[in-house]
Structure 1
Amino acid sequence: MDGHANTAEPKNEIPSLRSSESDSSLDEDTRPQNRVYQSTHHATQPSLHHGDLELARTKSIAETMSPIREFFFVGLLCSAQFVTQAGLLNTLNILHIIGSDLGINDPGVLSWLIAGYSLTVGTFILLSGRCGDLFGYKNMVVLGFIWFAIWNVVAGCSVYVHGNGAQVLFIFARVMGGIGPAILLPNALGLLGATYNEGRKKDMVFSLFGACAPGGAVVGGTFAGLWALLWWPWTFWTFGIALVVLAVLSTFILPSVPLDPELRNLSTKERIRDLDLLGASVGITAMILFNFAWNQAPGFGWEQPYIYALLIVGILLFPIFFWIELRVAEKPLIPFDVLSTDVTFVMLCEMCGWASFGIFVYYFIQILQQLRHTSPLLTMAQLSPVAISGFIAAITTGHVISRIGPGWVMLISMLAFLTGSIIVATMPAHQIYWAQAFVVTLIIPWGMDMSFPAGTLIMSNAVEKAHQGMAASLVNTVVNYSISIGVGIAGTVDIHVNNGAQTVEDELRGYRGAMYVGIGLSAMGVLTSVLFLLKMRMHERHVQRNTKAAGV
């Protein structure tokens, strides 16, 4: 992409030499890789080797598909993002109805129905993305749909359990169900990244993937509101049925992308060894403990010794994870050599922006339902503009990211997160919908649907085909883990400033305190993106000076 030239070290471009003949006759074991690598690791190669020329002549897998199959192919993979957000909002929208039936009244425990889901979505993505690199993206996508379906059915069946066991089973099902999207997201993106060559079409496909997030949220929340009029467990049972249908369609429609040549001849045992299970176990444990402490504290109090203990152990495990990845693992879960400074800046922006979004979506709905007493269906009606605005934002991003560069796209998205957080933080308890609530539903999707495509495109174009699952995993890990952490941190502030939430004023004070955290996080995202742009500008000037000096 043109815009990426501003964010990476100078590199030798491989000309786009496309053969007129289709490579459809090549089987999976002989088809050469179709990526044109843009990793800075390859920037030092002075000339094209024979293999590079063959690589450049190879058509992408997408070019071998008929238009109809490509339509269903993209639609199925985009549904991974759609069902992930549907799984978040179908619970959030009827949170208090579920809590009432299961006997959950503590707001701190109620938030676990949301945070527990995002926790496992964020923590298991890295491992599942690596599984896709080793066992095939298509296989993992099908597995993700099936896993997600099973635990949604279990969540609905929790209503038949008596006593506290019902709430325990529901929360457990939500936590386990989050592993489904953790499998789906990186492998769907990995399959897209390995199927399309770089260019405008790939930009647009990745943007469409992001565009499905607000639409999925609205559809999931709306169906939850409809089923709640009858019996809320049907929300999860029908969702599970839909996921099984998607798994069956994926089996017949999705192509099997050939594995990296180094991996084809490995046995199952050798592939499991290459998963870096030691690093994955330490990393997942660290993220779970750290996140659990932050989300448990609002409901049970920071005075509990076990919360401090879990938080400290989680923090101590992070440097151990990095040590394992850098010094111990033969095939690290995260190959840090592909993580340039530019990628690090992008990840920091994603972290700040999506943490503020997690706070926004949770507390915006609380304000609507708890203070303004809107029904679940009316809540989704008031949120519905995010689907339209999000689609426009995603399409716009697909068109402009190659022209203005990912740095400017990231800055605009962070400003959208910041503006949205400020609007919600200043909303009165009772106000006409069109004054602020409507405005924020138009603004916040620009943060979601500009930052996500920018991050995924940068990572996808920075790594080789063999690491597409890892690239998608990093972005999705940051996005979903940040949502969960943001809710936990904001919940702690909420509990400490709401004076027990005995009155509407106290409840609003707590909500605003939580939203101020979101403002601070999104402001950090804006600052980081500005620094990113300054770094890019300095790099451009440095390259120009060197070019002039070489010319002299």
Structure 2
Amino acid sequence: MRQSPPADEAAPLRIADARGRWTLLATVLGSSVVLLGSTVTNVALPRIGDDFDADLAVLQWTVNAYMLTLAGLILLGGSLGDRFGLRRIFVLGIVWFAAASLLCGLAPDTTTLIAARALQGVGGALLTPGSLAIIEASFHPDDRPRAIGLWSGFGGIGAALGPFLGGWLVDGPGWRWTFLLTIPPALVCVPLALRHVPESVGRPTRPNATTATGTGSRRGFDIAGAVLGALTLALATYALTEARTGGPVALAAAAGSVAAGAAFVLVERRSSDPMMPLSIFSSRPFAAINVITLCVYAGLGGFFFLTALQLQIVAGYSALAAGAAMLPSTVLMLLFSSRSGVLAQRLGPRIPLTVGPLVCGVGMLMTARVGTHASYLSDVLPALLVMGTGMVVMVAPLTVTLLASVEAADAGLASGINNAAARAAGLVSVAALPLLVGMGPDAYRSPASFDTAFGRAMPLCAGLLALGAAVALALPRRTAGTAQPRHGRAHGWLMEPPLVSHFAHHQALD
């Protein structure tokens, strides 16, 4: 029989209290670790390739190994926190991530580096869902919106600084320090979490399918679904990355991906407690939003991967300059994304989700001017400002419409699916784009070859966003409940849609 926690352990936290502030700091540090792991790598890729004398496929896998495990396991990570305790899984994720980061920084060869990046993604999948959930489960309802706003704001600062810090480290002590950068905040976060963060066991997110009364809770883990989902993504990524060399192995991987995907759907349909209940897609707005997400984040994933390389390989920027060059889009998101949620409330989702992707696509096409000796003020900055404007217009409405398309009890699940879909889209995009535009294994060593391929890639990225805009036209002019989430500002930045926990939505239902 589980003992009741002490009174001070069970009492809701307040921001005015020391323990509440320490808890908030721990969650900010935890989410910042993952944000840094996601944003600092792209600017380091050319140096990694030079140091290891590696081909383009290695650079792709350096990015994709991380996204693969993070996308494939993030829903399972949330379930583990619900079952075993948010703090316990959160701390495990931080320790795991820090250990993997150390292995990345010390990697003697590309095989070790790629394996360590995959382990980083596992750590990220464990700690990411719990970061926001801890705040929502632990803080007093009166303080919860402010706590989420502070957490989101400081996390956004970390996301903005990531490429800049990464570039500074690459040009200074070396690319290995871009991975070691995440270790100090992790070392601070662990004792803070163990000392100050109260343990919280998640509440049920949806009735158990086998419970006739609808009062049951999710108790099992869909291990088979998680394995098959990750295997589908892994085989598809391998097939696309290695397709340029042809051969039976790539074809076998492609066939295996199709088979694993079919098995995943079958398992999810038959499971009594599926990781991704297929019934949630019966909501047409929810299904449409996820199609839009796939299109938008596939285009964005390819854009940011290739642009970081273009600025260094073709335009001759240092790693620091390339990282700093990407700041305007993130700053615009930080300053104005909350206001675009109000716009979505007034206009409905169709207009923002049609206009926003099209504006982003225009910004991508404008990067055609980013060639040899490109001027930042006249060539790079205008394109990124247009890109950022499009992101501001569409990201918050995407989240608002997603949450309005499902029952409140399913908000956490819907957000997790949408977040995983975005990461999977970026994963496939980074694997497929070099193949589609004819980038050879050594293309990143030739400015002329890379510039030609980049010029072919940007219309494809813009086309993906235009396809997302076309799907948005099928959305209803108004969606019931299109308002900002009641629990405060949702968290999400340039390369991922917001991840929303289910806790506050249960508070609303109660």
TM-score range, shorter chain: 0.7 to 0.9
The answer to whether structure 1 residue 295 and structure 2 residue 241 are counterparts is yes
Q: Which of 102, 118, 139 is the aligned partner of 2:67?
A: 118
C-alpha spacing 1:436/1:485, structure 2 compared with 1 (3 Å): same
Matched with 1:391 is 334
Matched with 2:192 is 249
Q: Any residues of structure 2 matched to 1:176-255 within 5 Å, and which?
A: 176-191=119-134, 205=148, 209=152, 212=155, 215-226=158-169, 228-255=171-198
The answer to whether structure 1 residue 515 and structure 2 residue 458 are counterparts is yes
Q: TM-score by structure 1 length?
A: 0.73
The answer to whether structure 1 residue 306 and structure 2 residue 249 are counterparts is yes
C-alpha spacing 1:180/1:217, structure 2 compared with 1 (3 Å): farther
Matched with 1:7 is none
Matched with 2:497 is none
How far apart are the structure 1 equivalents of 2:196 and 2:330? 27
Q: Any residues of structure 2 matched to 1:38-77 within 5 Å, and which?
A: 65-66=15-16, 73=23, 76-77=26-27
Q: Which runs of 5+ in 2 are unaligned?
A: 1-5, 207-216, 483-510
Q: Any residues of structure 2 matched to 1:258-297 within 5 Å, and which?
A: 258-260=201-203, 274-297=220-243
Superimposed CA distance per residue, residues 35-68 of structure 1 (whole angstroms, 9 cap, x where no aligned partner): xxxxxxxxxxxxxxxxxxxxxxxxxx67x55377
How far apart are the structure 1 equivalents of 2:346 and 2:26? 28
Report if aligned partners of 2:205, 2:218 keep a CA contact under 8 Å in 1: no
Matched with 1:51 is none
Report if aligned partners of 1:103, 1:167 keep a CA contact under 8 Å in 2: no
C-alpha spacing 1:76/1:337, structure 2 compared with 1 (3 Å): farther
Matched with 2:322 is 379
The answer to whether structure 1 residue 336 and structure 2 residue 278 are counterparts is yes
Report if aligned partners of 2:167, 2:321 keep a CA contact under 8 Å in 1: no
Matched with 2:261 is 318
> CA RMSD, aligned part only?
3.8
Q: Which of 309, 312, 323 is the aligned partner of 1:369?
A: 312
The answer to whether structure 1 residue 134 and structure 2 residue 76 are counterparts is no
How far apart are the structure 2 equivalents of 1:184 and 1:452? 23
Superimposed CA distance per residue, residues 511-546 of structure 1 (whole angstroms, 9 cap, x where no aligned partner): 111222201111111111222145859x9xxxxxxx
Report if aligned partners of 1:359, 1:486 keep a CA contact under 8 Å in 2: yes
Q: Secondary structure at the match of 2:370?
A: coil
The answer to whether structure 1 residue 144 and structure 2 residue 87 are counterparts is no
Once structures 1 and 2 are overlaid, which stretch shifts more, 510-519 or 338-347? 338-347
How far apart are the structure 2 equivalents of 1:224 and 1:409? 33
C-alpha spacing 1:169/1:530, structure 2 compared with 1 (3 Å): same
Report if aligned partners of 1:349, 1:414 keep a CA contact under 8 Å in 2: no
C-alpha spacing 1:101/1:412, structure 2 compared with 1 (3 Å): same
Q: Secondary structure at the match of 1:275?
A: coil
Report if aligned partners of 2:438, 2:453 keep a CA contact under 8 Å in 1: yes
Q: Cα distance, 1:459 vs. partner? A: 5.0
Q: Which of 29, 36, 42 is the aligned partner of 1:86?
A: 36
Q: Which runs of 5+ in 1 are unaligned?
A: 1-23, 32-60, 264-270, 540-552
Q: Which of 410, 414, 420 is the aligned partner of 1:471?
A: 414
Q: Any residues of structure 2 matched to 1:382-531 within 5 Å, and which?
A: 382-448=325-391, 451-459=394-402, 469-495=412-438, 504-531=447-474
Q: Cα distance, 1:190 vs. partner? A: 3.9
C-alpha spacing 1:260/1:380, structure 2 compared with 1 (3 Å): closer
How far apart are the structure 1 equivalents of 2:468 and 2:384? 20
C-alpha spacing 1:117/1:214, structure 2 compared with 1 (3 Å): farther
How far apart are the structure 2 equivalents of 1:259 and 1:434? 49
Superimposed CA distance per residue, residues 484-523 of structure 1 (whole angstroms, 9 cap, x where no aligned partner): 1111121112325999688644321111112222011111
C-alpha spacing 1:26/1:530, structure 2 compared with 1 (3 Å): farther
Q: Cα distance, 1:81 vs. partner? A: 4.7
C-alpha spacing 1:67/1:406, structure 2 compared with 1 (3 Å): farther
The answer to whether structure 1 residue 101 and structure 2 residue 51 are counterparts is yes
Q: Which of 269, 281, 296 is the aligned partner of 1:353?
A: 296
Q: Secondary structure at the match of 1:94?
A: helix
C-alpha spacing 1:445/1:433, structure 2 compared with 1 (3 Å): same
Q: Secondary structure at the match of 1:495?
A: coil
Report if aligned partners of 1:259, 1:466 keep a CA contact under 8 Å in 2: no
